[in-house]
């Protein structure tokens, strides 16, 4: 034993370890006592259900909670016009390789948006309505063949194919082929699913962490390919469309009163000369099918795709939210999933799927729409909003006209929040309309 050398911890090692521990002890004490946001309750969550956790915390501590060392989430409808003003908007938080979505400089963002805005106006989108009709017709044909076989269908997968194939001819002059093949062409959808969580972490991280993650990504097989795949301007609009249509289908099946209304609409759609267009046009749905529009708005309200606070930076003079001064440079924001459950705006039954709330009065409808953040707010409203609305307003009436759709199980849809909320489990039984 005497010949075995002894390896002890060198003195400088102990000093380094002691300094490391002391740093974090002092940092924790500082954050709990002297930190400017020490009085704001803190959010801690890494389970992929941020929007659910924020709702619970706002109910307990409302209206302000701290969700990061220098970021505050607010659940008060009165701050929306303050944070997301169209006239003097607060800047977005910084992001690597800024594009139209993430550009922090308001002047640059305005210039970029003007370049493409005309292509995304509803009038321009509707000039491409025949291309959307082709996708709906193809969807109907493919699903009808599956319905004849009386197979259990993963309708969520097919709904995912539809908005992607619509975006093909609208933005790139041809379909991608998801509906024709009934599969993930080129594994693009799989690439999106893998890339989005990584990109969300990069966007939310501090600058020094962000640069390290971008460097490490070259060692992760396939990551660079996923990052390149997501550069197309397709993700947000298609996510809105997919999630809204999936949720509308599930809620219809779980609520007999809603089902009765929609069955009545489907019978009217199948009456000769009621709505001559096939597929139904966007304007026909808006004008003649208000209950369908109410269902879409209610799905947008209860199930927003964006699952995080829309971050903005407090101005040089700071900002006061609900009597709490937020210093300059700190991040403030409102989570759509939180504000759209606000009982002061949407009523005591805000957690229920009740489309009728959108049909009660024009004044209330206007007030609720002001607090609907599903497509963002102010100058940063999603540029693909009109494409998503056109897809939904045309698809849902046509699905009702052609099919009876029922859930094949009693379980809830599973969701995962990686910035944008993803879900699966829309397994259905489908029969053709008699």
Q: Label residues 119-130 b or e (16+ Cβ within 10 Å = b).
A: ebeeeebeebbe
> Dihedrals φ, ψ of 231, to 5°?
-65, -25
- In angstroms, how far is CA 329 from the centroid of its own chain? 26
Beta bridge partners of 295: none
Question: Could you tell me the two tokens for 193?
Answer: 């699913």
> Dihedrals φ, ψ of 251, to 5°?
-65, -35
- Is 382 annotated to bind a ligand? Reply is yes
Dihedral angle sign, alpha carbons of residues 52, 57, 59, 65: negative
Instruction: Give the helix ranges, DSSP H, for 205-361.
Output: 207-216, 223-229, 235-254, 256-269, 282-288, 290-302, 336-339, 343-346
Question: Could you tell me the two tokens for 258?
Answer: 């809603």
Nearest residue to 201 via CA among 221, 179, 216, 182: 216
Question: Could you tell me the two tokens for 238?
Answer: 């298609």
Q: How far is Cα 358 from Cα 346, in angstroms, rounded to an integer? A: 10
Binding residues are: 382
Binding residues for heme are: 382
């Amino acid at each position: 034993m005497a010949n075995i050398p002894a390896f002890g911890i060198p003195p400088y090692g102990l000093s380094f370890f002691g300094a490391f521990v002391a740093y974090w002890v002092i940092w924790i004490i500082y954050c709990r006592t002297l930190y400017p946001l020490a009085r704001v309750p803190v959010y801690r969550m890494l389970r992929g259900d941020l929007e659910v956790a924020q709702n619970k915390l706002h109910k307990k501590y409302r209206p302000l909670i701290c969700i990061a060392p220098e970021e505050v989430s607010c659940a008060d409808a009165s701050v929306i016009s303050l944070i997301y003003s169209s006239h003097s908007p607060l800047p977005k938080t910084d992001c690597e390789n800024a594009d139209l979505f993430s550009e922090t400089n308001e002047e640059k963002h305005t210039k970029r948006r003007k370049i493409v805005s005309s292509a995304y106006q509803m009038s321009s989108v509707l000039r491409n309505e025949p291309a959307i009709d082709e996708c709906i017709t193809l969807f109907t044909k493919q699903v009808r063949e599956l319905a004849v076989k009386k197979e259990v269908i993963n309708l969520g997968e097919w709904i995912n194919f539809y908005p992607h194939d619509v975006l093909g001819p609208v933005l790139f002059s041809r379909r991608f082929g998801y509906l024709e093949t009934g599969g993930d062409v080129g594994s693009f959808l799989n690439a999106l699913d893998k890339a989005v969580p990584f990109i969300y972490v990069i966007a939310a991280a501090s600058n020094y962490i962000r640069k390290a993650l971008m460097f490490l990504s070259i060692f992760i097989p396939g990551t660079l390919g996923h990052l390149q795949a997501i550069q197309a301007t397709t993700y947000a609009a298609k996510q809105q469309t997919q999630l809204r249509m999936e949720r509308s289908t599930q809620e219809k099946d779980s609520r007999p009163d809603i089902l009765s209304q929609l069955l009545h609409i489907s019978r009217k759609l199948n009456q000769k000369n009621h709505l001559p267009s096939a597929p139904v046009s966007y304007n026909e749905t808006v004008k003649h099918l208000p209950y369908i529009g109410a269902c879409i708005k209610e799905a947008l309200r209860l199930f927003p795709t964006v699952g995080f606070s829309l971050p903005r930076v407090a101005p040089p003079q700071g900002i006061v939210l609900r009597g709490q001064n937020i210093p300059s440079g700190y991040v403030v924001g409102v989570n759509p999933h939180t504000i759209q459950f606000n009982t002061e705006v949407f009523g005591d039954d805000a957690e229920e799927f009740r489309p009728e709330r959108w049909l009660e009065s024009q004044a209330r409808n206007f007030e609720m729409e002001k607090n609907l953040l599903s497509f963002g707010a102010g100058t940063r409203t999603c540029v693909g909003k009109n494409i998503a609305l056109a897809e939904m307003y045309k698809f849902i009436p046509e699905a009702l006209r052609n099919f009876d759709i029922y859930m094949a199980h009693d379980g809830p849809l599973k969701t995962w929040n990686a910035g944008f909320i993803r879900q699966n489990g829309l397994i259905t039984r489908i029969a053709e309309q008699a």
